[in-house]
Structure 1
Amino acid sequence: MATVKMTSHLYRFFPLLENREIRVAAGSVADVLRAVDQLAPGFSDYVLDERGALRRHVYLSVNDTILVDRKTLTDRVPEDGTVYIFQALSGG
């Protein structure tokens, strides 16, 4: 099972994920995001655009490697891997 960690900012929108260990079946990044969406409906809509690509303001890494395939999310997640999801900050 892969572990999913995210910035605390996302818990404001998905309180069902707060204060719990998120462990889902490994596979591709797309598989992991679908599994998280099952735990917190709407999560995928928040991090993915209408084409299913990762939104520009969202960054994701598998272990220490930033996601390569932002469009189809085919990067592999090892069974003992950790997926980190965080939102880019912007402003002035």
Structure 2
Amino acid sequence: MIVTLLSGIAASSWARVALRYGAVAVAVLFFMLSIRRSGERVGRQAERLEEMEKINETQRRMLEAAARRPRDRGELVDRLRDGGF
């Protein structure tokens, strides 16, 4: 019954045109939704990258500061006397 109804609707030329435009509209809608979702994903990845860069920069500065620290008390006293801090 439904098959005969659909075949009757698809038999008219205006219905075929409407179905064709409807199919194109649905395809365009799905395409735009997928582009939006991939854009959101790229945005989240960019935020993650920025956070990782900040973290790496902070860790690099901490390592550089640790490399410049006085090795023992004598070196600390010398640096304090020289005004190196």
The alignment's TM-score, normalised by the length of structure 2, stands at 0.16
The alignment's TM-score, normalised by the length of structure 1, stands at 0.15
Highest relative contact order (Cα 8 Å, sep 6+), 1 or 2? Answer: 1
Q: Which has the higher helix share?
A: 2
Q: Which has the higher strand share?
A: 1
Q: Rg: which structure is higher? A: 2
